[in-house]
Amino acid sequence: MQRKFFFEQQLFDLILGPIRWEVFKFSLENNLFDWLSKDVSSKELSKKFNWCPTHLELILNALTSMDILSKKNQFFKLKEAYLPLLSGPKSTDFKKTLLHLNKIKHINFDSMSNAVKGIQDTRIFHENYWTEAANGLLSFHKSIRNKILISELIKSNILVEDFKLLDIGAGSSTLAKEILNIVPSMQFDLFDLPHCAEMIEEQIPSHSKNMIKTIKGDMNKSTFLKKYNVVLTSMCLYFSKNISDTLQKIKNALLPDGYFVSFHECISKDRTKPQFHVVGRLPIELRNGPLSLDNEAFKKNILNIFEKISYQKKLNTPFGTMEILIAQKSN
């Protein structure tokens, strides 16, 4: 049974969303959480920033109401669960990820009005857009994506000594570097748009350049010339203009018994769930048209090319429900 005024509360809660984020963003950008690993009063904390203690306490109270801080006897402290995410040097990449996602997942009234009038935002076609996206991906991969994806790759038994892996739309070199720590003899080709590949090249340490190489190209135009044991795509195939053609090129790039791995958003057939993907993807889709994969159609395309999906699993992640699919090329 719904509690009284439940739906009214849901609508009122929408109003607080932007305020919650601005309070949190203000705290992130000022590294406020680094000073809250131990109990501290607003008066003491205000001296470190030369801020008004009364107004700072209002912000700290808001963070406490959001269950990010605890408050006892006028002393504030970051809750234990958030310490590794928001405080100290190890939290840097996660905080960068949050601030990057804020840029790409927020849209204002004017931009939304232009979109529904058919006025296209062409930023996605500009090199600067992809440069900024690559910087954001680096933090996202290091802070959260890699640990989820690598765990599934290990369970699937496809991280094997001497295997060659092609990462299409790699975004960063971090996955390859982390896998090398587990399987030192694997070799990686990281395929991405030319300006992104150049940025990735700079991330590769000199001692790993024999094992990790970059390839410049466009999945819609390029043909993969080498043969691989594994071809991986992670949240990039929605940029394919012809998914069947791209999947065929992936199959052609695989050695016999090779594996195609797709890690992608899991969106419902009617494209209304989960909220994190549907609402979170809305700003970029309003600017540039629908991008998200039709999961059912995608699976049919895989079956048409590979005949069988050998592994399939839905994953609950902090960034929405994801799915990993593995198809193996027959001899």
SS3 of residue 39 by DSSP: coil
SS3 of residue 225 by DSSP: coil
Residue 125 has pLDDT above 60, yes or no: no
pLDDT value of position 301: 94
**Distance (Å, rounded) from C-alpha 92 to C-alpha 143?**
8
pLDDT value of position 293: 81
Query: Which range (74-83, 117-126, 146-155) has the least confidence?
Result: 117-126
- Give the best-scoring range by mean pLDDT among 62-71, 98-107, 281-290: 62-71
Residue 86 has pLDDT above 90, yes or no: yes
Q: Which is it for the CA torsion 85, 87, 91, 95, positive or negative? A: positive
Q: What is the mean predicted confidence (pLDDT) over 212-232?
A: 97
33 closest CA partner among 69, 81, 73 = 69
Instruction: Determine how β-strand 228-234 pairs with β-strand 254-265.
Output: parallel
Q: What is the mean predicted confidence (pLDDT) over 227-231?
A: 98
Quote the tokens at residue 265: 């958003």
> Residue 319: enclosing H or E segment and its boundaries?
none
The three-point CA angle 117-123-127 to 5° equals: 165
Residue 65 vs residue 331, higher pLDDT: 65
Q: What is the mean predicted confidence (pLDDT) over 6-33?
A: 96
Q: What is the DSSP string of 255-268?
A: EEEEEEEEEEE---
220's CB contacts (< 8 A; 6+ apart) are: 239, 240, 241, 242, 246
Long-range contacts formed by 295-302: CB under 8 A, 24+ apart: 295/264, 295/266, 295/267, 295/269, 295/323, 296/269, 297/243, 298/237, 298/243, 298/262, 298/264, 299/325, 301/243, 301/244, 301/247, 302/247, 302/260, 302/262, 302/327
pLDDT value of position 130: 67
**pLDDT tier for residue 121 given thresholds of 50, 70 and 90:** low
**Distance (Å, rounded) from C-alpha 53 to C-alpha 60?**
10
Q: What is the CA radius of gyration of the chain?
A: 23
Percentage above 70 pLDDT, the chain: 96
What is this structure's pTM?
0.91
SS3 of residue 41 by DSSP: strand
Per-residue model confidence as pLDDT tens digits over 167-192: 999 999 999 999 999 999 999 999 99
pLDDT value of position 232: 98
pLDDT value of position 133: 74
Using CA atoms, how far residue 186 sits from 40, 119, 148, 233, in Å, is 48, 46, 19, 17
Distance from the Cα of residue 167 to its chain's centroid = 15
Q: Looking at residue 71, what DSSP letter applies?
A: E
**pLDDT tier for residue 324 given thresholds of 50, 70 and 90:** very high
Bridge partner list, 192? 216
Residue 1 has pLDDT above 90, yes or no: no
**Distance (Å, rounded) from C-alpha 103 to C-alpha 160?**
38
pLDDT value of position 127: 60
95 closest CA partner among 32, 176, 38 = 32
**Distance (Å, rounded) from C-alpha 324 to C-alpha 331?**
23
